[in-house]
Amino acid sequence: MILTPPATHIDLARLAFDAGAHVYVEKPLGLTAADSELLLRTASDKGLLVGAAPDTVLAPPARAAHYALTTGVIGTPRTADAALLAPGPENWHPAPQPFYASGTGPLGDMGPYYLTMLTYLLGPIEYVEATATSTRSERTIRTGPHAGDTFRADAPTHVVAFLRSRSQALVTVTTSFDIAATARPHLEIYGTDGSLVLPDPNFHDGSVRYRCRGEQNWQELPQDDVDVSTGRGLGVLDLVDSIRSGASDCRSGHRAHHVVEIIEAIEFARLSGHPAELRLLREERCAGLR
């Protein structure tokens, strides 16, 4: 299990492969899609598996939402809205500077939870537009021995992305460390016949509600295994199951790689001011790997 800072994930995973070990990596799988793709290829060549966080898609709320979508409870999913709106980790973390390093910020730090859930429920993302700003570039540490000290954020602190899935669902994702307070739901999916509201994808519990067209009240979806202890570590157990069953790969590793691709596409789109097609970015990257 690799629980170290993101910049060390790839090198440590390669060392583990050299020792003949399967690997589970905390999010993100890598800082670039080229690195995470090469990691998966190296594991495959050595007959080893890669699992990766976040694992909240394995929890009861995600499974309940997935079943509802596949059985047509709200019809065909057409659009979705996801929002991580927070005042920033300097309010609770005594050393928050790494959360604002280049390549991190709210998108790199918390985005994987939302993007993993969205791709699990709606499928792969193919097209991205994005923009960003920094409402408060100077931050003040609020707790711990350095309370009162200030530092500058190197990453954008408010990122808005527009995504289109392979199934043609349109998705808006907002990640921000600039918001004092919000009443906006973390994640909603809108179908042809109704709407679905999910809990915070950073956690493994919470209710999933739906409301169909023409109805006046929200209903709660039933969930399986709600009385069984779940939490961080479900992904490791999933990797162990894959190893024991002799699987050729672990789904969470490939999903984590796609999330790195999406984040890279968002970064490309916001910096260039142009839309990003993941297919074209992938072709360019693969050409460089050959």
User: What pLDDT, in 10s, does the model give residues 32-54?
Assistant: 999 999 999 999 999 999 999 99
Q: Residue 289: its pLDDT value, please?
A: 53
Q: Residue 224: its pLDDT value, please?
A: 86
Q: Residue 230: its pLDDT value, please?
A: 72
Q: Residue 228: its pLDDT value, please?
A: 64
Q: Residue 141: its pLDDT value, please?
A: 97
Give all domains of the chain, ordered by start, each with its CATH number. Answer: 6-55+232-289 (3.40.50.720), 57-220 (3.30.360.10)
Q: Residue 223: its pLDDT value, please?
A: 93
Q: Residue 236: its pLDDT value, please?
A: 95
Q: What is the pTM of this model?
A: 0.94
Q: Residue 285: its pLDDT value, please?
A: 76
How would you write the pLDDT of the chain (290 residues) with one tens digit per residue? 999 988 899 999 999 999 999 999 999 999 999 999 999 999 999 999 999 999 999 999 999 999 999 999 999 999 999 999 999 999 999 999 999 998 899 999 999 999 999 999 999 999 999 999 988 889 999 999 999 999 999 999 999 999 999 999 999 999 999 999 999 999 999 999 999 999 999 999 999 999 999 999 999 999 987 666 678 899 999 999 999 999 988 999 999 999 999 999 999 999 999 999 998 888 887 765 55
Q: Residue 208: its pLDDT value, please?
A: 97
Q: Residue 14: its pLDDT value, please?
A: 95
Q: What is the pLDDT of residues 248-281, one digit of tens each?
A: 889 999 999 999 999 999 999 999 999 999 988 8
Q: Residue 232: its pLDDT value, please?
A: 87
Q: Residue 284: its pLDDT value, please?
A: 80
Q: What is the 3-state secondary structure (H, E, C) of the chain?
A: CECCCHHHHHHHHHHHHHCCCCEEECCCCCCCHHHHHHHHHHHHHCCCCEEECCCHHHCHHHHHHHHHHHCCCCCCEEEEEEEEECCCHHHCCCCCHHHHCCCCHHHHHHHHHHHHHHHHHHCCEEEEEEEEECCCCEEECCCCCCCCCEEECCCCCEEEEEEEECCCCEEEEEEECCCCCCCCCCEEEEECCEEEEECCCCCCCCCCEEEECCCCCCEECCCCCCCCCCCCCHHHHHHHHHHHCCCCCCHHHHHHHHHHHHHHHHHHHHHHCCCEEHHHHHHHHHHHHC
